[in-house]
Amino acid sequence: MNFVQTVILGAIAGLTIYLGLPIGRIKSLPEKVRPFLSMTSAGILVFLFFDIFSQLSSPIEENLTNRDYGQFGLLLGIFIVGFFVGLLGLIFFEHQFIRMAGNVTRTLSPTRLALMIAAGIGLHNFSEGLAIGQSAGSGEIAFAGILIVGFGLHNATEGFGIVGPLAGKERPSWGFLGLAGLIGGGPTFLGTIVGYYMVSTAMSVLFLSLAAGALLYIIGELFQVNWRAITKAPAGWGLLAGFLFAYLTDLLLVSAGI
């Protein structure tokens, strides 16, 4: 698989995120359906958060087991810095540019929250692109093909995760959905380009830890908006549905050998 073929297929894997985005244009939802759909996004992101931690912990623990303390310390340090920046960087950004001056109790608008979800997913998808590019660049063509199919199917579910907070509240334009898809899925394309020529465990750990920190912040925002006494029951069902949906999707990919 040459560079051009790899990049094209990596782009397809990332752009499948657009398959789930149009659901954000549904109007006139019952009041209890809104927190259900919004927290379904949270459930998907919670699963993604644990999945990310599993991926980035593997090389760190492997070096600790092999008593390669130098590499272990390096990767652990990269993880701590990446997680710190991913979490607190978004908090700083929110306070400086998003929240209205003098009104610290104001919550994020559904549109801004959707864009932040897209950004967090984008960081994760960049690491997926790295994996695709690294596999193809090192000659593991079959494995690269499996990753492209698997990530493409998984990204299709992430589109719904982005627009969940918008359900029944704001009807996004097609232009907005195009932008959100580019932010969330485009990094898969960029990661494929970088990964094809640069095989680096440290870079993969960095972007996964950035994604983990960002997703933790976003999950907290979704809970703040939807986890209230009047909406807790539908929100809880949505959280469960989203987590199980993401988990069962992942199991299907595992059973298919992806």
- List per-residue pLDDT tens for the chain, 258 residues long: 678 888 888 888 888 888 878 877 776 667 677 788 778 878 888 888 888 888 888 899 999 999 899 999 999 999 999 899 888 877 776 666 555 444 454 566 778 888 888 888 887 788 778 777 877 776 766 656 666 766 676 677 677 778 877 766 778 888 999 999 999 889 888 888 888 887 678 887 887 888 788 788 878 877 887 788 778 899 899 999 989 988 887 787 677 665
pLDDT value of position 140: 64
pLDDT value of position 20: 77
> Tokens 């950035």 map to which residue?
210
Cβ contacts of residue 129 below 8 Å, gap of 6+?
Answer: 10, 13, 14, 187, 188, 189, 190, 191, 192, 193, 194, 195
DSSP type of residue 109? P
CA separation for the pair 79, 63 (Å, rounded): 14
Contact 18, 181 (CB under 8 A): yes
Q: Is the dihedral of CA 171, 175, 181, 183 positive or negative?
A: negative
CA separation for the pair 177, 236 (Å, rounded): 27
Contact 191, 126 (CB under 8 A): yes
CA separation for the pair 95, 215 (Å, rounded): 17
**What token pair was written down for 203?**
């870079």
pLDDT value of position 95: 67
Tell me the residue range of the domain where 215 lies: 3-22+31-255
**What token pair was written down for 248?**
């069962």
Q: Give how many domains the chain has, as a whole number.
A: 1
In sequence order, which ranges of 18-109 are alpha helices (DSSP H)?
Answer: 33-65, 69-93
